Chains A and B, each alone.
Chain A
Amino acid sequence: MADDQVIAQDLPKAMDVLNDIKTQADSVTGHVKDLLKKVKDGEISTAKGISFLESKYQLLLSYLINLTYVMLKKVEGGSIRGDPAVTRIVEIRTYLEKMRPIDHKLKYQVDKLVKMAAMGELSENDPLRFKPNPDNLTSKLAESSDESEASDDEKDTGKPKVYVPPKLAPVHYDEDTPVQRQQKKEEQARKRALRSSLIRELKEAHSDAPQEIRDSVGFRRSVETQDDRHQREYEEDYFVRLAVSKKQKRKQSMGMVSTLNQITKFGDTSALFGGEGGASSSKKRKRSSKKGKKGAKKGFKKRRK
């Protein structure tokens, strides 16, 4: 049978290993007995040791005890499933794992102490004796200024800094009283009246200068046609149709209608002839702002704003 063969192969090895264990255990027990005797005789004092190391070897001992119990059970053929010894083993193992980094950190201290114990007291100048001294970092010279600065900083950092505008001497604002505003309005109305068609015709009739007949559409109209031409050229160059905003559309439609309406309007000349403040239509002619376009249309800009 295969099992017998396996057993036959392993048997001599197992015997060797077991003998090995026996000899090693004998030597270890001898060693431990010597140590115990020494401790009992008072040659080696175990008081005043590093408590960390003491806890460490206590843990190791209990770990070993539990391990041997588990091995004994296994050798006798019993099951170790759910055995409290196993949980204890796991617990102690975790503790030991956690202690390992602390061990590493304490290495320096432990080495120093061991050296001291071996060689007696260390001399004053031994570098092992020095520990870090934070007091050496502060300078002892400029103490007073440091203190005052510290106190200032404390005061300022208490409240958040609020912006305080610079205190300049205030000056009285003389313009824009109602009287002045009225004067300005009158001035503007007078100028507009002078430009109206009625006054111009009167001027022409009574002046000696030769009469100019111009087939002009007015300055504003000429500006618009230039703009239109620019737009048309742009469209034909770039093969796009630019979008017409609502304002533009309204202006175009109004432009077509208003030429007929203007025939009967002669302009408001009341400002010159002492009329009392007609409803001055403030003509705010705002140029339409830039249009928002995509792609090729983005390159198009109004020549005049």
Chain B
Amino acid sequence: MSEGVVTVRTRKFLTNRLMQRKQMVVDVLHPGRATIPKTEIREKLAKMYKTTPDVVFVFGFRTQFGGGKTTGFGLIYDTLDFAKKMEPNYRLARHGLYEKKKPSRKQRKERKNRQKKVRGVKKTKVSAGKK
């Protein structure tokens, strides 16, 4: 049952030229509804700041006790390239821009055992020489 209108307000707005982005604290008021999903909030923010939603990154949403109000953080980058450079990989993964490639479990264990035989900086070179 979704009743009530969702209001998105921003506080503590700051233009961060060093990281080529705008950062703000996002307050979402949603009486009678569960916590709004991040995608919806991204779209609303994009409309507010007249950008595309793919450069908008939001995270850290915590709903107040009793419901109705959620507070989180939002970043709006100038371009997607800057976003890819600045954002941590897990947040890019949430947008589908990054895939963490993980070798199979067996491979990881074998690498670990090969590394055990070597001390120091040579550990990083061990995996390269797979015999």
A residues lining the B interface (CB < 8 Å): 235-236, 239-241, 256
Nearest B residue to A244 via CB reads B62
Specify the main secondary structure of chain B where it touches its partner: strand
Which residues on A sit within 8 Å (CB–CB) of B12?
A: 236
A239 engages B23 (CB within 8 Å) = yes
- Using a Cβ–Cβ cut-off of 8 Å, how many residues does chain B contribute to the interface with A? 8
Bound CA–CA A236/B62 (angstroms): 12
Minimum-distance CB pairs A-B, first 3:
A241-B60, A236-B25, A239-B73
* Contacting residues of chain B (12-28) with chain A, CB-CB under 8 angstroms: 12, 23, 25
Q: Is A241 a contact partner of B25 (Cβ separation < 8 A)?
A: no
- 10 more contacts with CB within 8 A, not counting A241-B60, A256-B65, are A235-B60, A236-B11, A236-B12, A236-B25, A236-B73, A239-B23, A239-B60, A239-B73, A240-B60, A241-B62
Question: Which B residue's beta carbon lies closest to that of A240?
Answer: B60
A239 to B11, CA, bound (A): 12
A235, A239, A241, A256: most-surrounded residue (chain B CB, <10 A): A239
How far is B116's CA from A230's CA once the two chains are assembled, in angstroms? Answer: 46
A230 to chain B, nearest CB (A): 16
Instruction: Name the interface residues of B21-44: CB closer than 8 Å to any CB of A.
Output: 23, 25
**A235 (CB) vs chain B CBs: closest residue:** B60
Q: How far is the CA of A96 from the CA of B23 in the complex (A)?
A: 87
Q: How far is the CA of A239 from the CA of B61 in the complex (A)?
A: 11
What are 12 A-B contacts defined by CB distance under 8 Å?
A235-B60, A236-B11, A236-B12, A236-B25, A236-B73, A239-B23, A239-B60, A239-B73, A240-B60, A241-B60, A241-B62, A256-B65
| CA gap between A256 and B11 in the complex, in Å | 28
Interface residues as binary, B89-113 with A (CB distance below 8 Å gives 1, 0 otherwise): 0000000000000000000000000
Cβ–Cβ < 8 Å partners of A240 in chain B? 60
CA distance in complex: A241, B62 (Å): 9
Distance in Å: Cβ of B116 to nearest Cβ of chain A: 27
CB distance from B6 to the nearest CB of A (A): 21
A252 and chain B: residue at smallest CB distance: B65
Chain A residues contacting B65 (CB-CB under 8 Å) are: 256
Which residues from chain B contact A235 at a C-beta distance below 8 Å? Answer: 60
The chain B residue with its CB closest to the CB of A238 is: B73
Contacts of A239 in B (CB 8 A): 23, 60, 73
The smallest beta-carbon distance between B29 and chain A, in angstroms, is 17
Q: Report the minimum CB–CB distance from B38 to chain A (whole Å).
A: 14
